[in-house]
Amino acid sequence: MDRPRSHALFTEALNFIPGGVNSPVRAFRAVGGEPFFAQRAEGSHIYDVDGNDYIDYVCTWGPSIIGHAHTAVVHAVQEAATRGTSFGIPNSFEVDIAKKIAEWVPSVEKIRMTNSGTESTMTAVRLARGFTGRDKIIKFAGCYHGHVDSLLVKAGSGALTLGQPDSAGVPAALAALTLTLPFNDLDAVDAALNANKGEVACVILEPLPANAGLIPPMPGYLEALRDLCTQHDTLLIFDEVMTGFRLGKAGAQGLFGVTPDLSTFGKVIGGGLPVGAIGGRRDIMDHLAPLGPVYQAGTLSGNPLAMAAGLAQLNILEKENVFDKLEKLGGQLELAVRPSLAKHKIEATFYRYGSMFCLFFTKGPVRTLDDAMTSDRNRFKRFFHYLLDHGVYIAPSQFETGFISAAHTTEDIAQTARVMDAALAEIK
């Protein structure tokens, strides 16, 4: 596909925006070449400024769960905008969406809205420290929780893609308070908690890591983490920014049947607009200002446009049995990809949970970040560009997750499977 207008825009952007992009992975550094510039998106498709049409499996990195520019979401935003874009005082949408999230997620008794997933995880860690009076935290290699200083240590997502799992500008003294362990290794968690008795405020993780590809938790792993945290009076925080309201009404915690003390959310509850949230036990949440000593604030938190969009999207998820459709579409893709891998004798590992999927170009199984790092990134690069040039857009990184929306059709999936099969034949 030719993209002369995208090329011109990217050339100009490089003069005014670091790397030409406002979020690092968009630069295509991991796969080479230049990003395309979007003109519009509708349903399951995204269109660039050169008129090229792509079946979209990035879905705005997750939130477009019912598809791009859904009429109900667009109308909700338009109607809300006519009454004002921001008030700096409470609005009714905040109450409505808080009630709905509390109804859907049993572990959430109270919730505080923020403007992004990063803000939510930042608040969660601060709240855990304030509630417990402890300073240290445990996170897992490859789990990305936003660009928070305390959490940008052996992170996934863009940091991993760029080969810089740690960021300059993070003080060593602060990073020293973050204990980073391998995912799926219970003995490491047990040892760390015992070696730091009474010092660990929280264990934070993606219950289904989706920022280093898609890495399944081992059977019993999340349940054992819950038990260890309870034994050590350490809070368990699930980062469900990716999985919340995408894997079901109760997210990953509902899927796996494990109850965290705090949860962070984002993406899906914004309907495509910037939003995040933190929720959990009443006694912990009441430590937030103005009731408690842990300060958190945001002029645009609970913004009426984001709340209206998110509420419209959640209502559709509730009324239209979207999760069953997503499971069927995901199953259709999986049933097509696995035989293609076998036919072309390519060593790869395919994981899928509902509408989330990842193809690692490594023999597998993939249980840790180290496993994911054995992936053949050159092969992924060739795979990515073949798909893109044939109208299928997946994330420009081996270490990201693919997303299916309810707007995808069986023909979208069938066409994607045909393109993937041809790509696998090309790169074997």
- Encode pLDDT of 358-404 as tens digits: 999 999 899 999 999 999 999 999 999 999 999 999 999 999 999 99
The amino acid sitting at 255 is L
Please tell me whether residues 65 and 75 are part of one structural domain: no
Which residue's structure tokens are 């709240």? 127
- CATH of residue 340: 3.90.1150.10
pLDDT digits (tens, 9 = 90+) for 294-350: 999 999 999 999 999 999 999 999 988 899 999 999 999 999 999 999 999 999 999
Segment 24-52 mean pLDDT: 96
Segment 65-79 mean pLDDT: 97
Please tell me whether residues 356 and 238 are part of one structural domain: no
Please tell me whether residues 155 and 284 are part of one structural domain: yes
CA angle centred on 146, ends 142 and 150, rounded to 5°: 80
Q: Which of 291, 318, 345 is the last residue of a domain?
A: 318
Give the pLDDT of residue 310.
95
Lowest mean pLDDT, pick from 145-149, 194-198, 233-237, 266-270: 145-149
**Rounded mean pLDDT of the chain?**
94
Please tell me whether residues 307 and 387 are part of one structural domain: no
Please tell me whether residues 25 and 77 are part of one structural domain: no
pLDDT digits (tens, 9 = 90+) for 5-30: 999 999 999 999 999 999 999 999 99
Q: Which of 56, 239, 261, 412 is catalytic?
A: 239
Q: Which of 100, 139, 154, 267 is catalytic?
A: 267
Please tell me whether residues 349 and 297 are part of one structural domain: no
Residue ranges making up the domain that contains 138: 71-318
- Is 267 a residue of the active site? yes
Q: Which of 258, 290, 318 is the last residue of a domain?
A: 318
Per DSSP, what are the bridge partners of residue 278? 112, 264
Please tell me whether residues 60 and 119 are part of one structural domain: no
pLDDT digits (tens, 9 = 90+) for 238-285: 999 999 999 999 999 999 999 999 999 998 898 889 999 999 999 999
- Is 325 a residue of the active site? no
Please tell me whether residues 343 and 248 are part of one structural domain: no
Please tell me whether residues 255 and 111 are part of one structural domain: yes
| pLDDT > 70? residue 104 | yes
Number of domains observed in the structure of the chain: 2
Segment 118-132 mean pLDDT: 97
- Is 233 a residue of the active site? no
Q: Which of 54, 57, 144, 353 is catalytic?
A: 144
Contact in structure between 325 and 406 (CB atoms under 8 Å): yes
| pLDDT > 90? residue 147 | no
Give the pLDDT of residue 162.
40
| pLDDT > 80? residue 165 | no
- CATH of residue 217: 3.40.640.10
* HEC letters along the chain: CCCHHHHHHHHHHHHHCHHHCCCHHHHCCCCCCCCCCEEEEEECEEEECCCCEEEECCHHHCCCCCCECCHHHHHHHHHHHHCCCCCCCCCHHHHHHHHHHHHHCCCCCEEEEECCHHHHHHHHHHHHHHHHCCCEEEEECCCCCCCCHHHCCCCCHHHHHCCCCCCCCCCHHHHCCEEEECCCCHHHHHHHHHHCCCCEEEEEECCCCCCCCCCCCCCCHHHHHHHHHHHCCCEEEEECCCCCCCCCCCHHHHHHCCCCCEEEEEHHHHCCCCCEEEEECHHHHCCECCCCCECCCCCCCCCHHHHHHHHHHHHHHHHCCHHHHHHHHHHHHHHHHHHHHHHCCCCCEEEEECCEEEEECCCCCCCCHHHHCCCCHHHHHHHHHHHHHCCEECCCCCCCCEECCCCCCHHHHHHHHHHHHHHHHHHC
Segment 128-143 mean pLDDT: 95
| pLDDT > 70? residue 163 | no
Of 109, 100, 121, 125, residue with least CA distance to 283: 109
Please tell me whether residues 60 and 102 are part of one structural domain: no
What pTM did the predictor assign? 0.95
Please tell me whether residues 272 and 247 are part of one structural domain: yes
Percent of the chain with pLDDT over 90: 89
Give the pLDDT of residue 155.
55
Could you tell me the CA-to-CA distances from 39 to 74, 136, 319 in Å, in that order?
17, 45, 31
Please tell me whether residues 242 and 99 are part of one structural domain: yes
Q: Which of 318, 334, 354 is the last residue of a domain?
A: 318
